[in-house]
Structure 1
Amino acid sequence: MSGEPYVKQNTENGIATIEFFHPAHNSLPGDLLAKLANTITEAGNDDKIKVIILKSGGDRTFCAGASFTELISINDAETGKVFFSGFANVINAMRKCPKFIIGRIQGKTVGGGVGVASATDYCMATKFAAIKLSELNVGIGPFVVGPAVERKLGLSGMSQIAIDANTFYDAEWAKQKGLYNQVYESVEELDEAVQKFAKGLCNYNPEAMKEMKKVFWSGTENWDELLAERAVISGRLVLSDFTKETLKRFEE
């Protein structure tokens, strides 16, 4: 993929489509994560918007997780905490957003990307949208995204892919576990289904959907604190000798 990174929003007939892109397989550096969190929050507060579609640019990868370039540059605990808080802020923005967020997952998703997909309210994917939690490979763990992933996959499913950090689990597995609601043969079929579903939601009472979303996310009210604590754990581990050595090998 080539091109400049971006987060953009297009609103039409009550449907806000929020799209992010980065040429490095849609990995997300801190500035894009901050913009994505803000864009989701603003869309949630816009009365003209009834439903949100979250998607990424390109056709191969939904999101490769955190920016590797930023990850290897972390040299102190505070920077580490800020870095890992990026995905926490996006997940919390999605959680608090009073509108339903439909995930449009066109391809593979890794690490933090699995957390973003898990934080959507209804997630639709292609058969190419395999998932992997690769954090253990570099000496850390999916601490920040873990609560969102566990909420969708259950503790058993989340721990399976977190421990088996080298393996991509296919879209059908993710559907069986509850992450994906529908899986399609192609991006074209996915896009058609996402649009049809979003248009259908626009016919419902916004107040009813807002109250339903509160119910669906009940029990997560402590996530501002929880995910911040998890970011501290990751920020500490990324400074370990093991992780520094592993990242050096990956860089080479």
Structure 2
Amino acid sequence: MKGTLYLIPTTLGKTPENNAIPEYTLSILRGLESLVVENIQTSVKFLQWVGDTIPEYKIDFYQLNKNTPDTEIFSFMKPLKAGKDVGLLSEAGAPAVADPGSKLVKMAHQNGIKVVPLVGPSSILLALMATGFNGQAFSFHGYLPIDSNKRKQMLIQLEGESRRHDRTQLFMEAPHRNNELFKAILETCTPQTWLSVATDITLETEEIATKTVSEWKSVEKPDLHKRPTIFSIYAK
């Protein structure tokens, strides 16, 4: 009998784990001896934080990041095929969403492995919930181009698609470039376009606000530097 691949969300930052992750999810995690993670060191800290009952030295860690070749990812299937349950963790939030773990999930399906997503925080979904925008038609675009001209063209494209298709557009940036992206949105999008900024979701420093571009220009801007943020635009 084959094992089960559990998709286990992690916290989005330094917050009490029981504020964001249900006890059932944690109970599954605490019983696993094989984990696929993006970074072993930070995952060990997370396990210590949630009170994992299995000693670190008894856990088999498999590291999966954007540079891991498919052949190596396929080798992570070995314990699953041998009947052992395996957990997939991301660095923050839901695994396999804007996360390299999706490759392992696909391979699991292709090999008849049961995949079980567990409940926990997803910054993308939580941000969408808090926008007040269309929650039935939406798209997440990950990271926008770093080049300023390409980023401007992408913002114009996303704004146009939002207007034509009544669609909420969500995207993000590396935290140290948040303020730069925020400024670019205000400079590029039309005054009537709505912009929601969701920062430090689930943390004590959480800030979420939705305003038109015109309104954002007239108020004091939050400092988003090195603070995980989801940006959402909605054009009518």
Where on the TM-score scale, by shorter chain, does this alignment land: which range?
under 0.3
Name the structure with the higher helix share: 1
Name the structure with the higher strand share: 2
